[in-house]
């Protein structure tokens, strides 16, 4: 019978403590590295003139440019080394665990089950941000400093983006849901 919960974790840690320590060290180095890259890039972005020093002078163009450059340097200096470390840990550690033991860990839900329903909001928020950026660009406020924006412009632009995302995805979902419901109702006697 498969062990579950705390017992399966204890068994895994007892049998493979070196693998866990290695993973923790890589995670800690990744977090420290990400903080250092962020601090380095913030200082460098101001010194090179990529972004203004005063927050009141920032615009949507500066914000998006800053985020894209930060993402690039983060992936280059942190993401790629972490990916290489994970591949090495997998090939040197996890692959060497016998298949029967792996099956036991899987039955015991060692690493838990993902709940996609609770993780779905990030994609929607990002999509709303993209539509918001498009709205700001179309309004001609891409280069306008945030200090010149009115609060109601920010709120109404965000609501406009939300409504368009709901319309673009809501109508096909409504049509598909209606079709599916009618199809399912025809099946029942």
Give pLDDT tens digits for 16-74. 888 888 888 999 999 999 999 999 998 899 899 999 888 889 999 999 999 999 999 99
Domain count, the chain: 1
Q: Is residue 177 part of a domain?
A: yes
What pTM value is reported for the model?
0.69
Q: Is residue 187 part of a domain?
A: yes
Q: What was the pLDDT predicted at 162?
A: 92
**Residue (of 31, 4, 15, 30) closest to 94 by Cα position:** 15
Position 2 pLDDT exceeds 80: no
Q: What tokens were used for 168?
A: 């673009």
Q: Is residue 157 part of a domain?
A: yes
**CB-CB contact of 26 with 86 (8 Å):** yes
The 8 Å CB, 24+ separation contacts for 160-163 are: 160/135, 161/128, 161/129, 161/131, 161/132, 161/134, 161/135, 162/128
Position 130 pLDDT exceeds 70: yes
Question: How far apart, in Å, do the first and last CA atoms of the chain sit?
Answer: 43
Q: Is residue 168 part of a domain?
A: yes
E strands, the chain, in order: none
Q: Is residue 150 part of a domain?
A: yes
Position 96 pLDDT exceeds 90: no
DSSP state of 55: G
- Domain that includes residue 177, residue range: 118-189
**CB-CB contact of 39 with 33 (8 Å):** no
Q: What was the pLDDT predicted at 113?
A: 61
The C-alpha atoms of residue 185 and residue 182 are separated, in whole angstroms, by 5
């Amino acid at each position: 019978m498969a062990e579950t919960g705390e017992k399966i974790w204890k068994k895994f840690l007892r049998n493979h403590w070196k693998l866990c320590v290695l993973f923790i060290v890589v995670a800690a180095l990744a977090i420290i590295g990400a903080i250092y890259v962020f601090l380095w890039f913030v200082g460098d972005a101001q010194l090179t003139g990529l972004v203004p020093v005063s927050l009141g002078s920032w615009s949507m163009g500066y914000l998006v440019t800053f985020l894209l450059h930060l993402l690039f340097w983060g992936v280059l200096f942190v993401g790629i080394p972490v990916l290489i470390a994970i591949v090495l840990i997998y090939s040197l550690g996890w692959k060497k665990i016998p298949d029967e033991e792996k099956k036991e860990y899987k039955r015991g839900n060692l690493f838990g089950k993902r709940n996609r329903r609770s993780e779905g909001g990030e994609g929607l928020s990002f999509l709303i941000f993209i539509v918001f950026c498009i709205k700001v660009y179309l309004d001609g406020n891409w280069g306008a400093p945030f200090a010149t924006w009115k609060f109601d412009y920010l709120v109404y632009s965000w609501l406009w983006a939300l409504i368009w995302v709901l319309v673009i995805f809501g109508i096909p979902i409504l049509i598909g849901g209606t079709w599916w419901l009618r199809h399912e109702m025809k099946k029942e006697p």
